[in-house]
Every structure is written in structure tokens, then in C-alpha cells.
Amino acid sequence: MGLDIDISEEAGVRYLHFGSDWIQGAMRIARPWALELDYTREMMACLLLRPEASWPRRVLLIGLGAGSLTKFLHRHRPAARLTVVEIEPQVVAAARYHFRLPEEDAQLRIEIGDGADHVMKPGPAYDLILVDGFDADAKTGALDTLPFYLNAKARLSDRGLLVANLLSRRKDFRTSVARIKEAFAGRAVALPSCASGNAIAFAAVGAPLAATPADLKARALALRKETGLNLLPTLAGLPSGLAL
């Protein structure tokens, strides 16, 4: 039995649902490459930790949804090579038909498969791994386990970051953060949860990363000028900056 996919629209925004009112993705029709949902914008705060234009060179996105993160990176980091692993073919079809997902090319490759299996296999190192995979019941399965986080860490480059979307309304949210910290030897931090109930966790390998509030503000202003993405509201919840 296939996944039940529904599309709705309201006030100029198109939404993706998996057979319920739960929002799995969104696109403002007038700005299809912009990040509409708060949590997707917060996931791109990784660009404040590594602000150089040459980063990331290679990205793994686990879970496609409406393709928001994929489209943003495809447009604003054209030198990056993007690999998307999505377990449901219907989601890929919906993203292409309803959410303007770009066609595969030298920059973008779509793989139908399990993200947990993908990181277990040998392959190229990724500078950035974005994890945003949920089923119709908002369950992550193997994507929120210690073995997965350890395997993902092993697939990161020496300048690598993992960014994971966690549901802060779930009882095991703090346990999820603890698992990431265990896998990354404590080098992980979660942002304060946003109104939607999502919380974004970051984890790093390689040389220590630290950004003061002033650093982050300057980088956020530069990123807003470059891409239109405004991360200043996110920084309001980080009075001490970010360190990994």
C-alpha cells in the first residue's frame, strides 16, 4: 500500500501532507526557492557555522519532503553536489509535480532508498548531512538511533556537520539529543524548539567551531543579503553564540 499524499493551499502557500493535517513540507508559490517553514530556516543556520562560500562541497539530504532544503541549496550553493535519499517514490513525484523540485543533473541526484542504509555503505565523505525523515505518524525509525548517528559521523568530512530535525513535542526529544552527543563525543547542541514543535540539533567533527553572537549576527546579515534567508530571529535564542 502506497503512502497517502495530500496537497493543500492557503494564503499563497502550498502544503504537503501524508494523509493527515500534519505538515510535511511547504512552499510559498510566489517564492518557490525560499524556506517557508521555521524549522527549515533553522536547519540552514549551519551556514553560519561555516560561512565560507565554498562550503559545503558535498551534501547528503535524508528525507525529501517538499524539497525545500534541496531547492535552497541547489539555488544558493550551485557548486555543491547534492544527494537526496528518500524512501518513498511518491514523495519524489509530489515534490516534482507540486513543489518545483529541479530535475536531476550534475549537481543533484535523487536516490530511492533508506537513509540509514545509505550511511552504512562506503562512499564519499559529506561536508553536510541534513536529516529530516518522518513517516505519516511522525516517526523516524532508524534515523534517530545511536548506530545511525555513528554511521553518519563516519561519512562526514573533516569539516563536516550533521543537522537533524527533531520533534521537541516527543517525550524522547532530550534522549535524541543525548544520542547525538554520545555519537559525536559531546560535540552537539540543539536550538530552542520553534513554535511548530521542531527542534534542530547540530553536531560537528574536525577542528572545534565557535561563533560569538557578534560573529553570528554579521554572518546572518551577509547570508540574508546573499540569499534572502533571515536567521536573525533564530539568533535571538542564542545569547551565548554557538560552539561545537
Rounded CA-CA distance 99/241 in Å is: 34
Average pLDDT, integer, range 128-143: 76
Cβ-contact 150, 162 below 8 angstroms: no
Instruction: Answer with the residue of higher pLDDT: 5 or 138.
Output: 5
Average pLDDT, integer, range 86-102: 95
Q: What is the pTM of this model?
A: 0.94
Cβ-contact 84, 128 below 8 angstroms: no
- φ, ψ for residue 105 (rounded to 5)? -155, -165
Q: Give tens-digit pLDDT for 176-185.
A: 999 999 999 9
Q: Which amino acids are annotated catalytic?
A: 132
Average pLDDT, integer, range 18-46: 91
**Cα dist from 72 to 43, 82, 201, whole Å:** 11, 11, 19
Q: Indicate the helix (H) or strand (E) that contains 7.
A: strand 6-10
Grid coordinates representing 81 are: 553536489
Question: Residue 154: pLDDT above 70?
Answer: yes
Classify strands 58-62 and 23-28 as parallel, antiparallel or unpaired. unpaired
> What 8-state DSSP symbol labels residue 111?
E
Q: Read off the amino acid at residue 98.
A: H
What is residue 172's predicted lDDT score, i.e. its pLDDT? 61
pLDDT band at 73 (very low <50, low <70, confident <90, very high): very high
Q: Count of residues for the chain?
A: 244
What is residue 1's predicted lDDT score, i.e. its pLDDT? 46
Mean pLDDT over all residues of the chain?
A: 91
pLDDT band at 169 (very low <50, low <70, confident <90, very high): low
Q: Give tens-digit pLDDT for 208-222.
A: 999 999 999 999 999
pLDDT band at 127 (very low <50, low <70, confident <90, very high): very high
Q: Give tens-digit pLDDT for 11-27.
A: 999 999 987 777 889 99
Residue given cell 541534513 in the structure block: 130
Residue given cell 553570528 in the structure block: 216
Indicate the CATH number of 33-243 among 3.40.50.150, 3.30.1490.20, 3.40.47.10, 3.90.550.10.
3.40.50.150
Grid coordinates representing 57 are: 562541497
Could you write out the DSSP letters of every residue in 12-24? TEEEEESSSS-EE
What is residue 195's predicted lDDT score, i.e. its pLDDT? 61
